[in-house]
Structure 1
Amino acid sequence: MNVKHFRVRVSGEHLQNDQNAINQFLNEVTVQKTATNFIAGMIDYWSVLVFYEPKILKPRESKESEKVSVLNYDELSQEEKNTLSSLKSWRTEKSSKLGLPQYMICHNSELMTIAKIRPHSIDELKRIKGFGENKISRYGNDIISLLQAS
């Protein structure tokens, strides 16, 4: 078990900063026990001992922030631009067929990322920003087939 000591000064100018520091710390650990004591003197303050354990980080599913995205057309090679053109044609056909706007099928940034990364499987497609379970179930097989054909 770990121990951390805080001094929470009761004077108005320091009180908020000291409270913010202890609150931030408490959010980052698992508290086992606390002990407090008021100390009167030249500067009155609360002495706070926090007995804690570090939080155990749980393994997590892939988050949107961990996904890959290409936002600049200039990052693409000529071959990747050709693939992007094929993907845009597929999106146009799909949107007409479904009666949806093209951006509802895939955004340009998603298509650029697909062209750059060229995923070979549904699992690789999941790494692309914007591709969750719904989009993959609707369009994933089409996209992978199109990439394999070109």
Structure 2
Amino acid sequence: MKCKVFKLRVVGEHLAEDEDNLNQFLEAVKVNQVQSTFIGDGQNYWSILVYYDEVTQDTVIDSVNSALNQEMPLTSLQKKLYDILIKWRDTQAEYENLPSYVVCYNQWIREMVTMPVTTLEDLAKIKGFGERRVKKYGDQILKIMEIYQKMG
């Protein structure tokens, strides 16, 4: 088990950034315990201590693959779009120096290609994709899907 300390400032301009950093970390690990203390020394922030275990990419891939094996297979057109979005996700993760599953799980990409996704609101309906990811990656994903639809 490992631990990491976060500072969550409660003033407006830093709050969203601190929350995003904390949420991104929490989504990428298995949390065992969280402790928090409010620090009111004029700076006013939450000090958050997270005890966690790392989740390996292999663990995530195995669980996603087993879920995928229980679902209907993709059509050839869906599979091509799926592969394009996987490449985008891997490139984006490399650019941000993150594991690819932190950017987007394979299951979310599968949902994108199997359900009608044409707006940011459609992306927000994908369980787990969340508001932060929609804001960060939504426009790129929609552009890729739009270009693919025109080509296909």
Give the TM-score of the pair, scaled to structure 2: 0.50
Which residue number corresponds to residue 90 of structure 1? Answer: 88
In structure 2, list runs of 5 or more residues that go unmatched: 1-66
Task: Select 2:75's aligned residue among 74, 77, 90.
Answer: 77
- AA aligned opposite 1:149: I
Q: Distance in 1 between matches of 2:109 and 2:137?
A: 12
The residue that corresponds to 2:145 in the other structure is 147
Distance between the aligned counterparts of 1:144 and 1:72, measured in 2? Answer: 27
Provide closer, same or farther for how the CA distance between residues 132 and 71 of structure 1 changes in structure 2, counting only shifts above 3 A. Answer: farther
Aligned length: 82
Structure 1, unaligned stretches of length 5 or more? 1-68
- Report the counterpart of residue 123 of structure 2 in structure 1: 125
Partners of 1:80 and 1:116 within 8 A in 2? yes
User: More helix per residue: 1 or 2?
Assistant: 2
Alpha-carbon distance change, 113 to 70 in structure 1, aligned in 2, over 3 angstroms: farther
User: Offset of 1:76 from its aligned partner?
Assistant: 1.4
SS at match of 1:75: coil
* Native 8 Å contact 1:125 1:131 kept in 2: yes
How far apart are 1:118 and its partner, in Å?
A: 4.0
* Equivalent position of 1:104 in the other structure: 102
CA distance in 1 between counterparts of 2:135 and 2:127 reads 15
Distance 2:133 2:85 in 1: 15
- 1:53-85 Cα offsets, whole Å, 9 max, x none, are xxxxxxxxxxxxxxxx97756431111010000
Given residue 107 of structure 2, which amino acid in structure 1 is its aligned partner?
Answer: S
Post-superposition CA distance 1:110-131 (Å, at most 9, x none): 0111111141100111111112
Describe the shift of the 1:110–1:70 C-alpha distance in structure 2 as closer, same or farther (beyond 3 A).
Answer: farther
Q: Note the C-alpha offset of 1:132.
A: 1.1
